[in-house]
Homo-oligomer: A and B are copies of this chain.
Amino acid sequence: MRRPTLAVVAQAAGVSLKTASRVLNGEPNVASATRERVQDAAASLGFRRNAVAADLARGGLSRLVGFITGDLANEFYSALASGIERELREHGLQLLTASSDEDPDREASLTGELIERRVGALIVTPAGADQSALRSEIAAGLPVVVVDRPAAGMDVDTVVIDNRGGTRAAVAHLLAHGHRRIGFVGDEPHLWTYQERSAEFLAAMAEAGVPDAQRLVRSGAHDAAAARGLALELLGAPEPPTAILAANNRATVGTLQALRDIPGGADVAVVGFDDFELADLLGITVVAYDAVEMGRRAAELAVARSADPDRTVEQVVLPTRVVTRGSGERPPR
């Protein structure tokens, strides 16, 4: 069945197309009798306005905001998405999501597709180092916000967390509990968050006078299984770490699996970066922050820039905090 168009509604109500349009858009200067006739006609015909055509006629941009995420199934990204969606809803906007699987090529092609769909703004967690595709879109006037990681060498609205501060706090926490040999299980080296966290880890260790902390750093923990392997590697070495800083939620899970599987694993202290739902139940001390809020802020920036393309670029840094739950307070042995 074909959907009735505005023209049909107008005819049924005996008014011009334009008047019907006015009524359906709640514009003023329509007699209330007319208004009612049109509304009745629309209701009885089951009319639905065509937002696509309306956006086109209004001259371009849709009321859609695109969000390109690394992996929707990851707790962190879905928290982001829900924060974004909630904020957009306040402004009558809708979320169009797409997963890049952390693949820069896919990210670029998705960017293209969303732009062709004429999204009003774009929120991205940049996977690749090269954001040149984005750059030209920004130049073309598209409001873009990057979340979780900055876009290399680009002057763009950004929302990140205080990775260095969080890392430093985590290391300080473990040092305060007497640890010196602290292992670091990190994500893919090309990710900015990994770089920040590992660099600060090394800096903090150096300041604490721990020699050769580099040998305690492992990278590549993109999923729990990989993280488990890395943790096992660290723990199997001579002079194994007495504590581990797991640099993201996947790494934490993998590290815990490794500790479960080796003798004495329960004695190793653990601090995880990223809070997760069951950390409480598992008694895991973590560096926490508010991912939903992060999404909300990003959406807020996107909306603000749409409204005023010339506003100054904002760089939001969200705080982190150490949440102690037991695993990070175990003494070295």
Tell me the A residues contacting B by CB distance below 8 Å: 1, 3, 46, 48-53, 55-56, 60, 62, 64, 71-73, 75, 77-79, 81-82, 85-86, 94-99, 112-113, 115-118, 136, 139-141, 224, 253, 256-257, 260, 276-278, 280-282, 292
| Closest chain B CB from A100 CB (angstroms) | 11
A253 touches B282 (CB 8 A): no
Task: Return chain B residues, CB-CB under 8 Å to A140.
Answer: 1, 3, 46
Residue of B nearest to A75 (CB): B75
A99 contact from B85, B116, B141, Cβ within 8 A: B85
Residues of B within 8 A of A276 (CB): 278
**Which residues of B sit under 8 angstroms from A51, Cβ to Cβ?**
113, 116-118
User: A95: which B residues are within 8 A, CB to CB?
Assistant: 96-98
Are A72's CB and B81's CB within 8 A?
A: yes
* Smallest CB gap from A92: residue in B: B113
> Contact partner of A78 among B1, B78, B136, B282, CB < 8 A?
B78
Oligomeric state, in copies: 2
Contact A73 B62 (CB under 8 A): no
A72 touches B62 (CB 8 A): no
From A3, A49, A77, A256, residue with most partner B Cβ within 10 Å:
A3
A46, A64, A281 — most chain B CB neighbours (10 Å): A281
A117, closest chain B residue (CB): B51
Write the nearest CB–CB distance from A105 to chain B, whole angstroms.
14
Give the CA-CA distance A169 to B279 in the complex, in Å: 29
- In Å, the complex CA distance between A79 and B140 comes to 35
* Minimum distance in angstroms from A275 CB to a CB of chain B: 13
- Measured CB to CB, the closest approach of chain B to A137, in angstroms, equals 9
User: Which chain B positions have C-beta within 8 A of A136?
Assistant: 46
Pick 25 A–B contacts, CB within 8 A, sort by A: A1-B139, A3-B60, A3-B140, A50-B56, A50-B60, A50-B116, A50-B118, A51-B113, A52-B52, A56-B56, A72-B81, A72-B85, A73-B79, A73-B81, A75-B78, A75-B277, A78-B78, A85-B98, A86-B99, A94-B113, A95-B97, A95-B98, A97-B97, A281-B282, A282-B282
Write out the residue numbers on chain B whose beta carbons fall within 8 Å of the beta carbon of A256: 281
Closest to A49 in B: B116
Which residues on the B side are within 8 Å of A141 (C-beta)? 1
CA distance A228 to B116 in the complex (A): 48
Give me 9 other A-B pairs in contact (C-beta within 8 A), A48-B112, A53-B56, A257-B280 excluded.
A46-B136, A50-B56, A51-B117, A71-B82, A78-B78, A94-B117, A96-B96, A260-B281, A281-B282
Q: Which residue of B lies closest to A116 (CB)?
A: B51
Chain B residues, CB < 8 A from A253: 277-278, 281
Tell me how far the C-beta of A103 lies from the nearest C-beta in chain B, rounded to whole angstroms: 12
Q: Which 3 A-B pairs have the closest CB atoms?
A: A78-B78, A51-B116, A73-B82
Which listed residue (B1, B52, B98, B224) contacts A55, Cβ 8 A?
A: B52
